[in-house]
Structure 1
Amino acid sequence: MSEAKPRPDVQVLFDPATIATRNHELAQEIVAARPEKLLVIAVLKGSFVFAADLIRALHDVGLAPEVEFLTLSSYRDARASSGQVAVLRDVETDVRGRDVLLIDDILESGRTLAFAKDLLAARGARRVLVCVLLEKSNKRAVQITADFVGFACPDYFVVGYGMDVAHAFRQLPFIGYIPEATAD
């Protein structure tokens, strides 16, 4: 019988109440942008918890967007981006003439979001707005700015609230980090 590995000490960065409050504030900011024919596209997998909570917050402020999912990858099973973005699962909805809210968990290098934003614009979206839960502004490798940002993030490798490390910790109700695994 193999021994269970000890669980790393995950430190809380943003607790569930703080996240919920910020999601409702983001919904107010998004509604103030007056989106038309809004299509929300969540970038999977890391944004799925954030996207679900934000969509419910958008409902609370009177928006009823259509929802789609886009699976992109620049990581595969690594912790560092390869720099090459691949579409693993595309959206099924025609984006032409629509306002698109692209939701992702974290804006770091910007490669994935810039790729997705350019892809949707090339397909005829009227406007592509970017909403991220976390932003690491010191890690930008390409020119992209998020229209809506949940939190500025220190240079930690974050987990929880849908984000993982090697498929672990997505289920945590908070955003945390593992001190010995912080980003270099």
Structure 2
Amino acid sequence: MVIPAETRIRVLFDAATIAARNREIAAEVAASKPVNLLVAPVLKGSFMFAADLLRELHAVGLTPQVEFLQLSSYGAGVSSSGQVTMLRDLESSVKGRDVLLVDDILESGRTLAYAKDLLVARGARSVKCCVLLEKPTKRAVNVTPDLVGFHCPDVFVVGYGMDVAHSCRELPYVGVIES
């Protein structure tokens, strides 16, 4: 799917607002004094959020390791299929480590719950869930994020790493396609 050039996108959270919130989240993570911190972004949608958050974690004096998970419950659609599929796993052990699981958006909760349960079962000392956006009305499973960038209205969002059919990830803000 190619998004026409004349498509209008209404900005929900602009780049400056996102950057400020990333600084606040990094300060909250640092205040928890994590042990042997591993930041585990869930690909693909969280890559921009994770990169900016990692730079902010560095700015507050943390030196986490980073490894990526790739999970999917959407496929090419715009709503969750209800089935989580592991496409890429972590390469190293999480045993005894504090893990910051980073995801773009928490809707049904299936992906985040799957990842958190997996890391806890593998012996992580702790697993904190950090999401850029939360849609609390969409929850299908019981999972609560520890750190939330923003509460999001029940709309399909794009930008800042999130896509529609692999388009719009490059936008420096989170927005809604209007036409």
TM-score, normalised relative to structure 2: 0.96
Structure 1 position 34, deviation (Å): 1.6
The one-letter amino acid paired with 1:134 is L
Quote the RMSD (CA, aligned, Å): 1.1
| Corresponding position: 1:161 with 2:164 | no
In structure 1, what is the equivalent of residue 45 of structure 2?
A: 46
In structure 2, what is the equivalent of residue 82 of structure 1?
A: 81
The one-letter amino acid paired with 1:16 is A
* Moved >4 Å (runs of 4+): none
Aligned to 1:42, what secondary structure does the other structure show?
strand
Query: For residues 3-152 of structure 1, what are the structure 2 equivalents within 5 Å?
Result: 5-152=4-151
Q: 5+ residue gaps in structure 1? A: none
- Separation in structure 1 between the aligned mates of residue 144 and residue 150 of structure 2, nearest angstrom: 14
Structure 1 position 78, deviation (Å): 1.0
The one-letter amino acid paired with 1:89 is R
- Separation in structure 2 between the aligned mates of residue 79 and residue 148 of structure 1, nearest angstrom: 24
Aligned to 1:37, what secondary structure does the other structure show?
coil
Structure 1 position 6, deviation (Å): 4.5
Aligned to 2:171, what secondary structure does the other structure show?
coil
- Separation in structure 2 between the aligned mates of residue 172 and residue 160 of structure 1, nearest angstrom: 5
Aligned-pair identity in percent equals 66
- Separation in structure 1 between the aligned mates of residue 54 and residue 4 of structure 2, nearest angstrom: 36
In structure 1, what is the equivalent of residue 173 of structure 2?
A: 174
- Separation in structure 1 between the aligned mates of residue 66 and residue 150 of structure 2, nearest angstrom: 23
Aligned to 2:68, what secondary structure does the other structure show?
strand
Aligned to 1:81, what secondary structure does the other structure show?
coil
Structure 1 position 93, deviation (Å): 1.1
TM-score, normalised relative to structure 1: 0.94
Aligned to 1:170, what secondary structure does the other structure show?
coil
The one-letter amino acid paired with 2:28 is E
The one-letter amino acid paired with 2:40 is I
Aligned to 2:148, what secondary structure does the other structure show?
strand
- Separation in structure 1 between the aligned mates of residue 153 and residue 77 of structure 2, nearest angstrom: 20
Residues paired across the two proteins, number: 177
- Separation in structure 1 between the aligned mates of residue 21 and residue 5 of structure 2, nearest angstrom: 32
The one-letter amino acid paired with 2:33 is R
Aligned to 1:34, what secondary structure does the other structure show?
coil
Structure 1 position 178, deviation (Å): 1.2
Structure 1 position 24, deviation (Å): 0.2
